[in-house]
Amino acid sequence: MTVRVGVIGAGWIGMEHIRRLTDTITGARVTAVTDIDAARAEEAAAPVGARMLPDGAAVVAADDVDAVLVTSWGPTHAEHVLSAIAAGKPVFCEKPLATTAEDCLKIVEAETAHGRRLVQVGFMRRYDAGYRRMKQVIDSGRIGEPLIVHCAHRNPTVPESYTSHMAALDTAVHEVDVLRWLLDDEIVSTQVVTPRATSKRFAHLKDPQIMLFETAKGVRIDLEVFVNCQYGYDIQCEAVGEEGLVRLPDPASVGVRTTGQHSTEVLTDWVGRFADAFDTEFREWIAGIAAGDEPTGPSAWDGYAATVITAATVVALESGRVVATDLKPRPAFYGGAA
């Protein structure tokens, strides 16, 4: 079966995923595209032989669309996801699931009422080979019970439009999701401390930030978010357990020895770092739909948790306090207590 995908939002990542579904993944075909910018929709649709449709509702309703991909701006996600659930169609929504807890809960309620999982949220790190190996080690018990996790999320630079709140909402959101999954645990409180600011930032920005999370089981996570580190795009994660530790591998790179030095490359952009993870994420999503299975990736509940935890982290940054995340209990539909 070829899964026919309709795409809502043909911007940067929409175009990336259309290319991925067309050239990299087998078993999928993009049949419909919409964007509020008609020229963009046309530019995305024409090369892959897809129809251009007037809006998201038309994409969801189209007879030649089996599954919906939402890659529009964050505040528009909830509307499109809810309409896909109402039509009973699988929907992949790029992060965030929605920008408010209320909208996330509306999606959770609609999917629960439907009675079968339809929603997957685009947290691609769960598909990264290194994180997957880390999870296997943690789940096997080889390092004992996890106690502490040290993480860093570093970007070389960010544009002037990047705000201090985006450190939680757009950057740390990926660690929030992958750590909940790695530890099979929930984040119950968040705090942000700000060390001396780098002179390389735009003046309005608090950079770096150190985020401190506590989980329900008492694991402590420290996450350095440093988005003007200059030297590269660098993702670090080390889980310390009672009997050992497990560390995320750096991307494979040849060692170079020359003029008295031994060096390896550091990547400079996130696209290259997670390209394989994006491919695997879509390969598994499409294979699951073709097999008639429910999605196994990040759920609407995970999308809700990420939105609530990152919003609490913004409050923590502004207040300087430890902020409880106050998540609702996880419903049985999503696996019950974490």
Residues that bind ligand NAD (CB under 6 A): 8-14, 34-37, 40, 56, 71-74, 76, 94-95, 122, 124
Cβ atoms < 10 Å from Cβ of 287: 15
**Residue 95 vs 126, nearer CB to ligand NAD:** 95
**Residue 122 vs 241, nearer CB to ligand NAD:** 122
Q: Which of 262, 294, 260 is nearest to 118 (CA)?
A: 294
CB of 109 to ligand NAD, least distance (A): 22
CB of 176 to ligand NAD, least distance (A): 13
Helix, strand, coil percentages for the chain (3-state, nearest 5) = 40, 20, 40
CB of 222 to ligand NAD, least distance (A): 22
**Residue 14 vs 90, nearer CB to ligand NAD:** 14
- The single residue listed with the structure tokens 């494979």 is 252
**Residue 6 vs 146, nearer CB to ligand NAD:** 6
Q: Within the chain, what is the greatest distance between any pair of CA atoms?
A: 65
**Residue 274 vs 301, nearer CB to ligand NAD:** 274
**Residue 36 vs 315, nearer CB to ligand NAD:** 36
CB of 231 to ligand NAD, least distance (A): 21
- The single residue listed with the structure tokens 């579904």 is 21
Beta bridge partners of 295: none
Virtual torsion, Cα 34, 35, 38, 39, nearest 10 deg: -110
Please give the sequence-ordered ranges of beta strands (E in DSSP) within 72-145, or none if there are none. Answer: 91-94, 119-122
Q: Contact at 8 Å (CB) between 96 and 74?
A: yes
Nearest residue to ligand NAD by CB is 11
**Residue 143 vs 285, nearer CB to ligand NAD:** 285
**Residue 166 vs 188, nearer CB to ligand NAD:** 166
CB of 133 to ligand NAD, least distance (A): 20
Host H or E run for residue 61: helix 56-61
User: Which residues make Cβ contacts (< 8 Å) with residue 3, sequence separation at least 6?
Assistant: 27, 28, 29, 66, 67, 286, 289, 290
CB of 260 to ligand NAD, least distance (A): 39
Host H or E run for residue 224: strand 220-226
CB of 170 to ligand NAD, least distance (A): 6
Distance of CA 52 to the CA centre of its chain: 27
Q: Which of 99, 73, 83, 93 is nearest to 11 (CA)?
A: 73
CB of 278 to ligand NAD, least distance (A): 8
Q: Which of 31, 20, 5, 29 is nearest to 84 (CA)?
A: 5
**Residue 74 vs 232, nearer CB to ligand NAD:** 74
Q: Contact at 8 Å (CB) between 78 and 102?
A: no
CB of 299 to ligand NAD, least distance (A): 16
Q: Contact at 8 Å (CB) between 266 and 255?
A: no
